[in-house]
Amino acid sequence: MKTRREFIKISALGLGGVAALSSISPLTRGASAIEKLLGLNRNKPRIVKRVPSYCEVCFWKCALWADVDDSGRVVNLTGNADDPHCNGRLCPRGTGGIGMLYDEDRLKKPLIRVNGENGQTFREASWEEALDLVANKLKEIADKYGPESIALFNHGSPGHHLGHLLKALGSDNIAAPSYAQCRGPREVGFEFTFGTGVGSPEPTDIRDTRCLVLIGSHIGENMHNGQVQEMSDAIDRGATIITVDPRFSTAASKSKYWLPIKPATDIALLLAWINVLITEELYDKDFVEKYTTGFDKLKSYIRPFTPEWAYGITTLEPDLIRKTAREMGSAAPAVIVHPGRHVTWYGDDTQRARAVAILNALLGNWGRRGGFYFKEAKPLPEYPTPEYPKPSWSWKDVTNDKYPAARLSVSNALIDASIHSEDKPARIKAWLVAGTNLPLTIPQKDTLEKAFQDIEFLMVLDTMPMEITGYADVVLPECTYLERDDDIRNEPHRELNIAVRLAAMEPMYDTKPGWWVARELGLRLGLEKYFPWKEYREVIEWQLSQIGTSVDEMQRLGVKKFEGRKTPLYAETPEDYQFKTPSGKIELYSEQLESMGFDAIPRFTQHPEPPEGYYRLIYGRAPMHTFSRTANNPYLVDLMKENSVWVNPRVAALWGLKNGQYVWLKNQDGVVSHFPTKVRITERIRWDSVYIVHGFGHHDKKLSRAYGRGANDTELITRVSVDPLMGGTGMRGNFVTFVTENPGKEVVS
């Protein structure tokens, strides 16, 4: 079948930018092209200024200083010492951020898809031409189907600018995979219990905790900087760490107790812990009395769920379950059962997050030192622009009938709405994608492919030729975070604080900031009243002036802290505290959920088990990489160039696998990984599971260092258990086996 939209692997014929760069000899006295770009001239650079910014390699947004040398190049990045996100210490990705800036594979010119004799390809275009084309297409589609038929998928800073454009145009179909593919269930689970979600950064008071409980949360491998730092502080202070993970994670290795749980049985453990806290009366009675509802119902519900009951499900010894519950009880209220971050596992994830929330409530740690603190953000007025037009339909109309508790837009619901069926035309006709590599993010590739074929137009804004660009009609090259002004960061934390991102150098190549792209498109679409400024610096300056500071001052400070929190950091006058739930209290038993037809208290259900010869595919993070976006960064590739598949020695013996051998992974539906991955035989993984780090196995050749390195977990996730409450895609129900002979696939040496 002829596809409407082919995946374009090669850039184009006669790409000026690429040709010019590849003319640099790859090896000149050991200095590769990338080293030349990195400016390794063997001389110590003369730093002439430092410019404040915050990192965009992940979502933690650590504030940093960019050192700029006398030739105007950024040569070094260091954390801002006043920043509560990083305390002056960037993580490996943040430190290696200049590898993203000087990556020679960056997108350099706007690209337009053309139909040639030998298939589809890209040709380079001027910004003028590319923007005209995008604007015309969007106008055409908005006129024909309504502006609501245009959707935005985004992650990070550029999303806000394009989101503003889209809302001005009259659509609120804006989704980030960080919700339905990541942390959505915990937000919803906590909202139903405490009346408020968790948010980012999580208000976990780890530095002062006496007991930190991690359930599948691998802090240290997930490099959420401030949290990693605080876990280290907690270790210094002798806090007890309890880690629940089928894998001996780094965090598990730092723990007093490791609970090597059978995968997919976490709710059984959580219920058993709740059982022990209640039957042994270890819960905070005053707190429960004062702030919660439904305790009696919970108490009678939980009676059968003893540690002995959980033993048969989780394989964890009852004694260990009791001991760890007692540790939590004795540390309370300075105890945290961490809500986790990537929690879309088995489809009952909102309910699992509810169980975590209930456990925390029983420990009375909400608003307590060493538990959860009350975060607060510095209020920051938006630059005044006219009110957005009201869309005639919204993301809620294609989401909430299926997922009633989704509070934010669900990416997979928007994708479904982009696919036509015989009885129903697709409601979404065009996509803008910014900063998110959907093919290595969204499971169930077939569905995504269908959407790619059905939509009429796809524009991608990115800094790198990620796989998503191969499906685009127009690719717009964004400059990196170090080359642009951007929104002020004012995320909630212990102290009110803001951080600025100011351009540290001129954009390299023919790249532009996201705000510039949004504005240029806005002008072309007759939306100039929404962009009453020329440079984003004007917006930043106006906003800063509203809170008593200025670009001048922020250039000196980078991060500014403010007095005047409106709420206490901890609950000082607890009698008055009202939770934002219907009852005003923490809802241990949720009548809200009951009235919606869901379980009022979480229930354990059995999930599918691996068939004979197959192993549960567990995926996670490595501290030196972010999703799939850093796999080509020269510094980070140097630390970790590919993933490996962790295999228990017993399983390896059964299959005759050798350490370091390359194998392909085949899932239960017969899908074989594009590329092979290295076997790592290790006791650190159970015999019923294998583990790989997410974000590898890139299949776009334009990513010269990442192409063909490792296996891509996302392509092996063909089965998804969708959370009926909020649409999260549970992805841990896929099983793989080993293919040791090349199944006819390309191998990159």
Partner 1 sequence: MRYAMAIDTRKCVGCGDCVVACQVENNVPIGYCRDWVVESMAGTYPKLEIEIRSERCNHCDNAPCVRCCPTGASHIVEGGIVLVTHQKCIGCGACIQSCPYDARYSHPDGYVDKCTFCNHRIAEGKDPACVSVCPTKCMYFGDLDDPNSPVSKALQDRRYKTLAPEAGTHPQIYYLL
Q: Which residues bind partner 1 (CB under 8 A)?
A: 29-32, 34-35, 38, 40-42, 44, 75-79, 86, 88-92, 95-96, 98, 220-221, 223, 225, 228-229, 231-233, 235-236, 248, 250, 253-254, 258, 260, 623-624, 634-636, 638-640, 648, 682-687
Output 615 or 635, the one with its CB closest to partner 1: 635
Task: Output 239 or 271, the one with its CB closest to partner 1.
Answer: 239
160, two tokens: 């806000």
Q: Please identify, using beta-carbon distances, which residue of 61 and 254 lies nearer to partner 1.
A: 254
Query: Least distance from C-beta 12 to partner 1, angstroms?
Result: 27
Least distance to partner 1, CB of residue 686, Å: 7
- Cα within 13 Å of Cα(408), Cβ side: 21
Q: How far is the CB of 240 from partner 1 (least distance, A)?
A: 13
Report the C-alpha gap between 211 and 370 in whole angstroms.
Answer: 8
Q: At residue 677, what are phi and psi to the nearest 5 degrees?
A: -130, 155
Nearer residue to partner 1 within complex by CB, 320 or 569: 320
| Smallest separation (angstroms) from partner 1 to the CB of 661 | 20
- Which residue number, 206 or 278, has a Cβ lying nearer to partner 1? 206
Cβ closest to partner 1, residue 298 vs residue 637: 637
Exposure class string for 142-177: b at 16+ Cβ within 10 A, else e: beebbbbbbbbbbbbbbbbbbbbbbbbbbbbbbbbb
* Unique residue bearing structure tokens 């880690």: 243
Report the C-alpha gap between 575 and 499 in whole angstroms.
35
Element of type H or E holding 49: strand 47-54
Considering the complex, state which of residue 426 and residue 622 has its C-beta at the smaller distance from partner 1.
Answer: 622
Shortest spacing between CB 383 and partner 1, in angstroms: 34
CB 150 within 8 A of CB 140: no
Smallest distance from partner 1 to CB 736, Å: 19
- Rounded to whole angstroms, how far apart are CA atoms 286 and 276? 18
3-state per-residue secondary structure call for 613-668: CCEEEEEECCCCCCCCCCCCCHHHHHHCCCCEEEECHHHHHHHCCCCCCEEEEEEC
Residues 715 and 667 sit within 8 Å (Cβ to Cβ): no
136: region left, alpha or beta (phi > 0 left; psi from -120 to 50 alpha): alpha
**DSSP letter for each residue of 508-528:** STT-B-HHHHHHHHHHHTT-G
Contact 480, 101 (CB under 8 A): yes
Distant-in-sequence, close-in-space partners of 599: CB < 8 Å, separation ≥ 6:
351, 593
Cα 244 from Cα 634, distance rounded (Å): 34
Tell me, letter by letter, the H, E, C secondary structure of 261-283.
CCCCCHHHHHHHHHHHHHHCCCC
Q: Is the peptide bond before 381 cis (omega within 30 degrees of 0)?
A: no
In terms of CB distance, is 228 or 353 closer to partner 1? 228
CA 670/CA 731 separation, integer angstroms = 17
Q: Least separation, in Å, of the C-beta of 220 and partner 1?
A: 4
The two beta strands, 662-667 and 677-681, are: antiparallel
Q: How many angstroms separate the CA atoms of 503 and 68, rounded?
A: 11
The candidate with the shortest Cα–Cα distance to 725, out of 612, 543, 599, 639, is 599
Q: Are 671 and 709 in contact (CB under 8 A)?
A: no
Minimum CB separation of residue 443 from partner 1 in Å reads 27
**Which is closer to partner 1, CB of 38 or CB of 138?**
38
| C-alpha to C-alpha distance for 471 and 25, rounded to whole angstroms | 31
CB of 341 to partner 1, least distance (A): 16
Of the pair 89, 402, the CB lying nearest partner 1 is at: 89
Q: In angstroms, give the least distance from the CB of 654 to partner 1.
A: 15
Question: Which of 687, 748 has the CB closer to partner 1?
Answer: 687
Provide the token pair at 285: 């009675």
Nearest approach, Cβ of residue 42 and partner 1 (Å): 6
Nearer to partner 1, 35 or 397 (CB): 35
Rank residues 248 and 346 by Cβ distance to partner 1 and give the closer one: 248
Residue 43 Cβ vs partner 1, minimum distance, rounded to whole Å? 8
Cβ–Cβ < 8 Å for 344, 182: yes
What is the chain's alpha carbon radius of gyration, rounded to the nearest angstrom? 26
Q: CA 706, CA 640: separation in Å to the nearest integer?
A: 10
Query: Nearest approach, Cβ of 332 to partner 1 (angstroms)?
Result: 24
Tally of CB atoms within 10 A around 238: 8
Residue 5 or residue 50: which is nearer to partner 1 going by CB? Answer: 50
Least Å from the CB of residue 513 to partner 1: 25
User: Quick one: 254 or 341, whose CB is closer to partner 1?
Assistant: 254
Nearer to partner 1, 268 or 685 (CB): 685
Q: How far is the CB of 38 from partner 1 (least distance, A)?
A: 7
Phi, psi of 358 (to 5 degrees): -65, -45
Q: Which two tokens stand for residue 647?
A: 């295999």
In whole angstroms, what is the distance from residue 110 CA to residue 122 CA?
A: 9
Minimum distance of partner 1 from residue 39's CB (angstroms): 9
For Cα atoms 289, 266, 493, give the angle at the middle one, nearest 5 degrees: 60
